[in-house]
C-alpha cells in the first residue's frame, strides 16, 4: 500500500474535516440507490392514483346518462389484463416463443382492441340515445382506472421488495450501479408509461365509439406502441431514458387522444 503524498493529503483535508468529501465525486453505494428508489417509488405510488382521479374529474365535463358505462369500462380493463396474462401463458408454451416476442404482442393488441370494440358496442346498444363521445370516453375512463390501479399495486409491491433484502433487489441495484441509471429517471419513466396507457385507453375508446371500423386503426397504433417498447428494451438500461423510443408510447397515446377528440362526431359529444 502506498502512502499518499503530503500535498494530496493536505488538499483532501484543507477544509479541516477529514470526513468532508464535498469537493470530490464518489460513486453511489447500493444503500443509497435503495433509499433513493424506495423514496421515489413512494412518490410514484401517490402520483398514479392522482392521475386516475384527475382523469375522472376531467371526464365529468361529458357524462353519459348512466354511471353504469363506467363499470363496462372497468370490466374491459379487467378483461384486458386477464387476456394479457392468459395469452402470454398459452403462447409461451410453444417452443421459441418469448413473453416479450412479436407473436405475443400481436395477439395482445388484437385481443385488447376486439374487447374494446365489444365493450363499446354493448354501451351503444344499452344507451342508444346517448351521444357516442361520452359513452366511449367513460368506457375508456373505466379501463384506464383499472390499469392505473394495477400500476399502483405493482409500484407498491416493487417498493416493498426493494425495502427488504433479497436476491432480486441486489440484482436490481447492481444493474443500476453498473449502468449508472438515475433513480429520478426510473420514477419519471414509470409515470410517463402510465400516462401513455391512460391516453391510449381514452383515445381508442372514443375513436371506436365514434366509428367502430376505427378498431383497425387502434390495433395498428397499439402494435406501434408495443413495438416501441420492445425496441427500447433492447437498449442498455442507462440508455433507455434518453432514447426517443421511450417516449413513443406516450406520443402515440396523446396522438390518439387528440385525434379522437378532434373528430367532428367525437368532439361534439365528448367536450
Give pLDDT tens digits for 68-91.
999 999 999 999 999 988 877 776
For residue 123, the Cα-to-chain-centroid distance in whole angstroms is 27
Global pTM value:
0.81
Cα distance from N-terminal residue to C-terminal residue, the chain: 73
The three three-digit cell numbers of residue 27, written as one number: 460513486
Q: Give the chain's largest Cα–Cα span.
A: 87
Does an H or E element contain 50, and which? helix 30-59
What average pLDDT score do residues 247-263 get? 88
Query: Can you tell me the distance from the alpha carbon of 208 to that of 210, in angstroms, rounded to the nearest whole number?
Result: 5
3-state helix, strand, coil in the chain (%, to 5): 75, 0, 25
Closest CA to 95 of 105, 103, 86: 103
pLDDT value, residue 191:
94
Phi and psi (nearest 5°) for 26? -120, 145
User: What's the confidence (pLDDT) of residue 112?
Assistant: 95
- State the pLDDT at residue 141: 97
For residues 102 and 7, what is the distance between their CA atoms, to the nearest angstrom? Answer: 61
Distance of CA 85 to the CA centre of its chain: 17
Q: How far apart are CA 12 and CA 261, in angstroms?
A: 61
Window from 12-16, 49-53, 228-232, 238-242 with minimum mean pLDDT = 12-16
Radius of gyration from C-alpha coordinates of the chain = 24
Amino acid at each position: 500500500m502506498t502512502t499518499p503524498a503530503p500535498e494530496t493529503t493536505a488538499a483532501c483535508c484543507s477544509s479541516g474535516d477529514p470526513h468532508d468529501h464535498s469537493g470530490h465525486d464518489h460513486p453511489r453505494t447500493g444503500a443509497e440507490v435503495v433509499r433513493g428508489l424506495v423514496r421515489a417509488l413512494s412518490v410514484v405510488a401517490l402520483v398514479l392514483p392522482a392521475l386516475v382521479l384527475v382523469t375522472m374529474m376531467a371526464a365529468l365535463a361529458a357524462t353519459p346518462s348512466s354511471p353504469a358505462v363506467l363499470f363496462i369500462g372497468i370490466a374491459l380493463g379487467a378483461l384486458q389484463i386477464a387476456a394479457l396474462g392468459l395469452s402470454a401463458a398459452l403462447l409461451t408454451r410453444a417452443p421459441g416463443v418469448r413473453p416479450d416476442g412479436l407473436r405475443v404482442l400481436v395477439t395482445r393488441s388484437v385481443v385488447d382492441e376486439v374487447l374494446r370494440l365489444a365493450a363499446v358496442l354493448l354501451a351503444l346498444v344499452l344507451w342508444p340515445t346517448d351521444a357516442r363521445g361520452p359513452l366511449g370516453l367513460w368506457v375508456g375512463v373505466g379501463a384506464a382506472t383499472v390499469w392505473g390501479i394495477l400500476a399502483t399495486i405493482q409500484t407498491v409491491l416493487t417498493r416493498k421488495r426493494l425495502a427488504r433484502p433479497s436476491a432480486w433487489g441486489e440484482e436490481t441495484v447492481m444493474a443500476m450501479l453498473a449502468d449508472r441509471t438515475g433513480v429520478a429517471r426510473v420514477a419519471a419513466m414509470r409515470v410517463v408509461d402510465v400516462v401513455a396507457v391512460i391516453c391510449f385507453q381514452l383515445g381508442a375508446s372514443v375513436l371506436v365509439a365514434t366509428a367502430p371500423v376505427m378498431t383497425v386503426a387502434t390495433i395498428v397504433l397499439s402494435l406501434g406502441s408495443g413495438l416501441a417498447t420492445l425496441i427500447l428494451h433492447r437498449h442498455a438500461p442507462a440508455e433507455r431514458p434518453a432514447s426517443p423510443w421511450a417516449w413513443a408510447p406516450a406520443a402515440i397515446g396523446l396522438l390518439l387522444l387528440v385525434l379522437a377528440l378532434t373528430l367532428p362526431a367525437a368532439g361534439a359529444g365528448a367536450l
